Amino acid sequence: MRAPRAGAGSDQAGSTVQVAAKDVGPTLPTDTSSPGEYTFQTTNDGSATHAIEVDGPGVEDEKSDTAGPGGTAPLTGTLQQTLQQGDSTMYCPVEYCPVDGHRAMGAETTFTVG
């Protein structure tokens, strides 16, 4: 799943990218960004508890706190310093039994840095 195109300012260093966490996966305002510092601000637009995790060049296992329906959770930390060129995957790491989790159900998106 590719995310829709971004609004102005999402490629500037230190900017905040709004992420909509839905039951079908996270939605970004863009599928491309410049390398730099970002904070991903997640708003849970779904009916279950969600979070986001990012894996890609220079980033591995960086995740937000969980947020219940209507809640918010920022993803901060080393991701802001290490987002590098290449493809990254953002997904929901929340797992519920008996299924493998939201990611296994398709709750992920890919974006490109560079």
Whole-number pLDDT of residue 4: 31
What is the pTM for the complete model shown?
A: 0.72
Mean pLDDT of 72-93: 75
The answer as to whether 6 is a domain residue is: no
Distance CA 104, CA 2 (A): 17
The answer as to whether 80 is a domain residue is: yes
SS3 call for 103:
helix
The answer as to whether 45 is a domain residue is: yes
The answer as to whether 47 is a domain residue is: yes
For residue 72, pLDDT beyond 60: yes
Mean pLDDT of 3-26: 63
The answer as to whether 85 is a domain residue is: yes
The answer as to whether 74 is a domain residue is: yes
For residue 77, pLDDT beyond 60: no
CATH code of residue 72: 2.60.40.420
| Cβ-based neighbour number of residue 68 at 10 Å | 12
The answer as to whether 5 is a domain residue is: no
Whole-number pLDDT of residue 79: 52
Domains held by the chain: number: 1
Range of the domain at 56: 15-109
Order of strands across the sheet that contains 32-33: 32-33, 108-113, 86-91, 53-56, 59-63
